Amino acid sequence: MFENPLPGVPAVESPFFDAIFRNSQVDEHTLSIAKQLREDGFAVIEFPDDEFDRIADEIRHDLHGRYDWEHWRATGYEAGDSLRLQDAFKFNENVRRIATNAKVIKLLSDVFQRQAWPFQTLNFPVGTQQHFHTDSVHFSSMPERFMCGVWTAFEDISQDAGPLVYYPGSHKWPIYTNEHIAVRATDKAKTVHQYGVLWRNLVEQAGIEPQRFTPRKGQALIWLSNLLHGGDKQSNPNATRWSQVTHYYFEGCSYYTPPHSDPFLGRIAFRQMTNICSGKPVENAYSGAPVPLAFIRSASGSASLMGRAKTLLHPIKRFIS
C-alpha cells in the first residue's frame, strides 16, 4: 500500500498522482475527472440530479425579482457590472440542494482525497464580465489549494451572454501572495492593482489563450483554485446567463484571505466558515490540530479586519488597465 508523503497537497495536484489513484478505490469516471483536472485545471460534468430541470427553472423564477434589472440595463451593463446574489441557500431550498448535492461532494472528496464541504453560493442571471483571477487569492487555505468551485448552467449559454472564460493549465503555476508582489495588506489600492498586473503579465508571458464555456442547461464546470478564470464581455444586454457557483473547501485546513494578510508581520485574515450541509461552523486547523481562537483573534488584528475576512466576496473585482 502506497503511503502518501504529501498529505498536505490535494491528490489531484500531487506529484504522486499516479501512485495515489493506483491504490484508491475510485471508479473510472472519477479517475477520468481527476485526470482532466490535473491536466487542464477544469472538468465538465452533467449535474447529477434527476430533477435538475425543474429545480433550475424554479430557482430562476424564485430569484428573478431579487435583482435590480432596471439599474443594470441602464448603467451596469455598459460599466461591466453584474447581477449576483450571494448565499441564497439561506432562504432558497433549491439553491441549497444544488450546493449540497451528495454526488458532487463525493466526487470532489474522491479527487482531492479529503472531505469536501460547501461554504458559499453565488447565483447569477447574467454574465459577470469579471476580470480573470484565481480563487486561490479570494478563498485560500493552508495547506494551499484545498478549495474548488463548481459552476452550473441553469439554461443553455450563448456566446453573446458573456460566458465563463478560463485559461487551461494556469492552475499549475505557483500561487502568488502579497510577499511575491511586494505589497502589504494595509495598502489595499496598490494590492488590488498589483494582482491584476501580475495576472495579465503571467498570461502574456505564457502565451496562453483563453477558452470559453458555452454549456447546455445542466452542465457544470469544476475548476481548481489556482485556475485563472473570469467572465467574458456580454455583447447582448438582453441575453441571460442563469447559473450558480458553489465554492467548496476541504476539511483539516486553515481558511484565510491572502490579500488581507501579512503573516510575517503577524497579520492573518482568518475566515470563520460554516459548512452549508451541516449549518455548523468549521474550525480552522493546522496539521491535525485546531488553531486556538485566541491566536485567530490576535492574528486578525482587529474586529474590522475580521469582519472583512468573513464577508469578503471578491476582494479583487475590477482592475486598472
Digit-coded pLDDT (tens) for 207-222: 999 999 999 999 999 9
94-109: pLDDT as tens digits: 999 999 999 999 999 9
CATH class, 30-311 region: mainly beta
Chain-centroid distance, C-alpha 223: 7
SS3 labels along 262-308: EHHHCECCECCEECCCCCCEECCEECCEECCHHHHHHHHCCHHHHHH
Query: For residue 302, what pLDDT is reported?
Result: 45
Q: For strand 229-231 and strand 147-153, is the pairing parallel, antiparallel, or unpaired?
A: unpaired
pLDDT score of 115 more than 70: yes
Query: For residue 316, what pLDDT is reported?
Result: 39
Which is higher by pLDDT, 312 or 67? 67
Number of H helices, E strands in the chain: 11, 15
6-30: pLDDT as tens digits: 999 999 999 999 999 998 999 999 9
pLDDT score of 132 more than 90: yes
Residue spans of the domains in the chain: they are: 30-311
> How many Cβ atoms from other residues are within 10 Å of residue 93's Cβ?
11
Length of the chain: 321
Query: For residue 78, what pLDDT is reported?
Result: 74
Q: Are 214 and 165 in contact (CB under 8 A)?
A: no
pLDDT interval class at 172 (50, 70, 90): very high
The H or E element spanning position 103 is helix 102-112
pLDDT interval class at 317 (50, 70, 90): very low
Query: For residue 56, what pLDDT is reported?
Result: 98
In Å, the largest CA–CA distance within the chain is: 62
Mean pLDDT of the chain: 91
Percent of the chain, pLDDT > 70? 93
Burial class (CB in 10 A: 0-12, 13-18, 19+), 243: buried
Listed in sequence order, the residues at least 6 apart from 282 whose beta carbon sits closer than 8 Å to its beta carbon are 117, 119, 249, 251, 255, 273, 274, 275
- CA 261, CA 156: separation in Å to the nearest integer? 40
| Cα–Cα distance list, 80 to 46, 93, 162, 240 (Å) | 30, 30, 10, 14
Query: For residue 306, what pLDDT is reported?
Result: 38
**Rg of the chain over all Cα atoms, to the nearest angstrom:** 19
- CA 284, CA 301: separation in Å to the nearest integer? 17
Angle between helices 303-311 and 293-300 (to 10 degrees): 100
| Three-class secondary structure of residue 220 per DSSP | strand
| Cα–Cα distance list, 218 to 107, 234, 270 (Å) | 17, 21, 34
